[in-house]
């Protein structure tokens, strides 16, 4: 279902299946952020309400009304995939992983990601070709692509950006900077960009 970005208290209460007094208590206690109109009426941003529900374990409601942004991780290194998936999930994203080109193509169609983290150089897969394929297909051209590689050369950067990538990062990378770039690409407002609780790192081989 499609939701508007700003909700009134009655609307938010309806989505949460609670009464208005419960919403009032959450707002007054400071648990749920809300703005106030010049006329004195409270308004709730859907992203704030989504985060509130997830923080309190109300996942069925959060998933039903506030679908998370989806990120597909394409990397042949299993540990890299696991670390990225765990961290991104902790930041409120829904993730899927692919270890090769065939799996990546299948997941793009099945999972319908909003953003793809794409390793450029993997056995049996050309990340540049994958990027071009995504961009040339009208059904997938909207997907944001963040290139992620251990081979930092000016040529690789220029090639992948020319192929259609939206951002380029080198392994190992500063996670906070990369996460901020992901959220900017997904149009998540700055005030809603939760920072990682601790630096994230993993042994990363070139790729």
- The pLDDT of residue 176 is 85
Q: What is the mean pLDDT of the chain?
A: 82
> Domain 6-63 maps to which CATH number in 1.10.1660.10, 1.10.150.530, 1.20.120.530, 1.10.287.130?
1.10.1660.10
Peptide bond into 172 cis (omega under 30): yes
pLDDT at 15 (0 to 100): 76
Q: Do domains 6-63 and 70-192 have the same CATH topology?
A: no
Boundaries of every domain in the chain: 6-63, 70-192
CA angle 152, 154, 160 (to 5 degrees): 85
- Is pLDDT of 97 > 50? yes
**What pLDDT sits at residue 199?**
42
Q: What is the pLDDT of residues 135-145, one digit of tens each?
A: 999 999 999 99
pLDDT score recorded for residue 146: 97
How deeply is 104 buried, as exposed, middle or buried, from its count of CB atoms within 10 A (0-12, 13-18, 19+)? Answer: buried
pLDDT of amino acid 190: 59
Can you give the pLDDT at residue 187? 84
pLDDT for res 189: 63
Question: Comparing 68 with 109, which gets the higher pLDDT?
Answer: 109
pLDDT at 59: 47
Which residue would you say has higher pLDDT here, 127 or 125?
127
pLDDT over 70, % of the chain: 84
Give the residue with greater pLDDT, 197 vs 46: 46
pLDDT at res. 195: 55
pLDDT, residue 140, reads 94
Render pLDDT for 154-207 as a digit per residue (tens, 0 to 9). 999 999 999 999 999 988 778 888 889 999 998 876 545 555 544 444 444 545
What is the DSSP pairing of strand 94-98 with strand 70-74?
Answer: parallel
> Which overall architecture, per CATH, does domain 70-192 show?
3-Layer(aba) Sandwich (3.40)
Per-residue b/e over 18-38, b at no fewer than 16 CB within 10 Å? eeeeebeebbeeeebbbeeee
Give residue-wise pLDDT tens across range 58-70: 644 555 555 678 9
CA atoms within 13 A on the CB side of 50: 19
């Amino acid at each position: 279902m499609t939701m508007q970005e700003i909700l009134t208290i009655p609307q938010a209460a309806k989505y949460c299946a609670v009464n208005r007094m419960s919403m009032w208590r959450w707002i007054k206690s400071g648990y749920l952020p809300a703005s106030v109109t010049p006329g004195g009426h409270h308004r709730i941003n859907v992203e704030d309400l989504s985060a509130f529900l997830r923080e309190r374990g109300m996942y069925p409601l959060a998933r039903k009304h506030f679908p998370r942004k989806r990120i597909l991780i394409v990397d042949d290194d299993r540990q890299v995939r696991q670390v990225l998936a765990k961290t991104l999930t902790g930041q409120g994203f829904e993730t899927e992983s692919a270890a090769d080109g065939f799996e990546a193509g299948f997941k793009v169609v099945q999972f319908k990601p909003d953003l793809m983290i794409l390793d450029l150089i993997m056995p049996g897969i050309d990340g540049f070709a994958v990027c071009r394929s995504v961009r040339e297909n009208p059904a997938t051209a909207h997907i944001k692509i963040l290139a992620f590689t251990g081979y930092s050369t000016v040529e690789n950067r220029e090639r992948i950006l020319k192929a259609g990538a939206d951002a380029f990062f080198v392994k190992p990378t500063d996670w906070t900077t990369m996460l901020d770039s992901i959220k900017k690409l997904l149009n998540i407002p700055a005030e809603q960009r939760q920072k990682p609780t601790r630096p994230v790192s993993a042994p990363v081989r070139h790729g």
